[in-house]
Amino acid sequence: MRMRRGGRSRRSAQAMTPAGALLTYLVLGGWALIVLFPLFWILTTSFKLPVHVYDGPVFIPYVDFTPSGHAWRYIFVDLANDTLRPYMNTVVVALTSSVLALALGTAAGYGLLRFRYEPRLGVVGLFLSAMALAAAVISLGVPWQIALVAALALFVLARQSIGRRFVRAVGNDDISFWMISQRILPPVAVVIPIYVMFQRFGLLDTRLAVIITYTAINLPIAVWLMRDYFRNISVELEESAAIDGASPYRIFRSIVLPLATPGLAATFLLVLVFSWNEYLLALFLTSANAQTLPLLIAAQNATRGPQWWYMSVLILIMITPVILMAIALERYIAKGLLVGALKG
């Protein structure tokens, strides 16, 4: 609301000189051209024959060259299932992982704001050492189920016996910082162990593996943005609901979530775009079955040289859904992201 009011009265506050207006339109129009021209070029390339591409540039369909549907026919008729499978993979993987990341991140972001957590440092250390121990024995060849259960048992035992002696505790801010800082991690630093892990579980080249991984890498963003969004929602409604005896889950579902719709929409779109377009992790974790669209596009760079026309068709069918979604959610994106950025 505030934003729109601001926009409208700004118009009355400042009037532009004709020269200023002209310059403004020139700059904005110029950048619009820079943005749209590559998209126009992909669109026309998808209707070109190889000869049109290799004999130098032709620009306008029906004037410079006769458009041909050969690339579209190849992708949709000849390849059919080989296009459809990666497409469905991308849709399923991106949607599922975005929903999961949003669900977990929203819950965690809300928890970090409304509850006080103070895990003792020593207990955290114990837990991590137990996990490290599990990792070590798994790499020595012990089956992972046994190692994990043993490590957890060891942790519970240690916590019961010496856990009370630790005094120093970490607070909510430390946990938030730790979660958000996980986004700093370059995927390439963790991808090989993740690869080995999924190999052990027999999950390589499955959608499940990609979904779990994408959920994990997008979780920090979801926590960050949603926590900051919740901070701007007044706590009074929740408190009165709690006095009326509503459970924390009920309050979360029927009061907090509806109020956070713009934040949810923006976060969802951002996370969706990240998983929809992700390349590096998919390259490691998938081969034929779970292949996603970015890999299929890259695969058009065949030994005969790049197949520009096929690539263009694939890029077009890949970007259309996200672009439509972006247009639909455009208002929310700005609002949702801004709150996160203001509160850092």
Partner 1 sequence: MPAAWIDRQAKSLFLFPAVLLLVAFSIFPLLVSVYLSLVRFQLVPGGFKFTFVGLANYRKLILGIEREHFLGLPADPTPLIWALGGIVATVLLVFTLRGVARAGSLGGLVSRAAFALIAVTLAWLSIRTLAANGRPGTLVTTMVYVFGGITVQYWLGLLLAYLTSQHILGRRFFRIVFLLPMMITPVGIAYTFRILADLGKGPFAPLWRMLGLAEVSWAGDPWGARIVVMIGDVWQWTPFMFIVMLAALEAQPLELLEAAMVDGASRWQTFWRVTWPQLLPVTSTLILIRMIEGFKIIDLPNVLTNGGPGTATESLTLHAFIAWRTLDIGGSAAVAYALLFLVTFSALSYISLVHRRLAGVV
Using DSSP, state whether 306 is helix, strand or coil.
strand
- What is the closest distance, in whole angstroms, from the C-beta atom of residue 63 to partner 1 in the complex? 15
Positions in 91-110 near partner 1 (CB under 8 A): 104-105, 107-108, 110
Task: Provide, rounded to whole angstroms, the least separation between the CB of residue 183 and partner 1.
Answer: 6
The binder of partner 1 chosen from 94, 194, 209, 211 (CB under 8 A): 194
Q: Contact 222/275 with Cβ under 8 angstroms?
A: no
120 three-class SS: strand
Burial class of residue 89 in the structure, from the number of CB atoms within 10 Å of its CB (0-12 exposed, 13-18 middle, 19+ buried): buried
Given the rule CB under 8 A, which of 70-78, 162-170, 176-184, 200-208 is the region that contacts partner 1?
Answer: 176-184
What is the DSSP-derived secondary structure letter of residue 253? I
Residue 177 structure tokens: 């910082």
Considering only 93, 126, 151, 197, the residue that binds partner 1 (CB under 8 A) is: 197
Site size toward partner 1, by CB under 8 A: 114
Q: Is 139 in the site for partner 1 (CB under 8 A)?
A: yes
Residue 318 engages partner 1 in binding (rule: CB under 8 A): yes
Kindly state the smallest distance separating residue 186's Cβ from partner 1, in Å.
5
- Return the residue matching tokens 């892990």: 197
8 Å CB contact between 115 and 230: no
In the complex, the smallest distance separating the C-beta of residue 120 from partner 1, rounded to whole angstroms, is 15
Least distance from partner 1 to the Cβ atom of residue 221, Å:
9
> In the range 34-63, which residues lie near partner 1 by CB under 8 A?
34-39, 41-42, 45, 53-57, 59
- Give the C-alpha separation, 127 to 249, whole Å: 28
Q: Is 111 in the site for partner 1 (CB under 8 A)?
A: yes
Query: Any contact of residue 208 with partner 1 (CB under 8 A)?
Result: no
Would the CA dihedral through 28, 31, 32, 33 be positive or negative? positive
Residue 294: which residues within 8 A CB-CB, separation 6 or more?
Answer: 277, 278, 279, 282, 318
Contact 85, 291 (CB under 8 A): yes
Candidate segments 63-71, 157-165, 201-209, 321-329, binder of partner 1 by CB under 8 A: 321-329
Question: Shortest Cβ distance from residue 252 to partner 1 (Å)?
Answer: 8
* 119: its two tokens: 């895990």
Q: In the chain, at which residue ranges do the beta strands (DSSP E only) sit?
A: 301-302, 305-306
Nearest to 329 by CA among 259, 271, 265: 265
Asked if 253 interacts with partner 1 (CB under 8 A), we say no
Which residues within the stretch 259-288 sit at the binding site for partner 1 (CB under 8 A)?
273, 276-277, 279-280, 283
- Contact between 248 and partner 1 by CB under 8 A: the answer reads yes
- Asked whether position 6 contacts partner 1 by CB under 8 A, the answer is yes
Distances (CA, A) of 216 to 190, 246, 265, 322: 12, 31, 19, 21
Stretch that binds partner 1, among 62-70, 157-165, 200-208, 248-256 (CB under 8 A): 248-256
Among 22, 51, 77, 132, binds partner 1 (CB under 8 A): 132
Give yes or no for residue 198 binding partner 1 (CB under 8 A).
no
Q: Does 340 bind partner 1 (CB under 8 A)?
A: yes
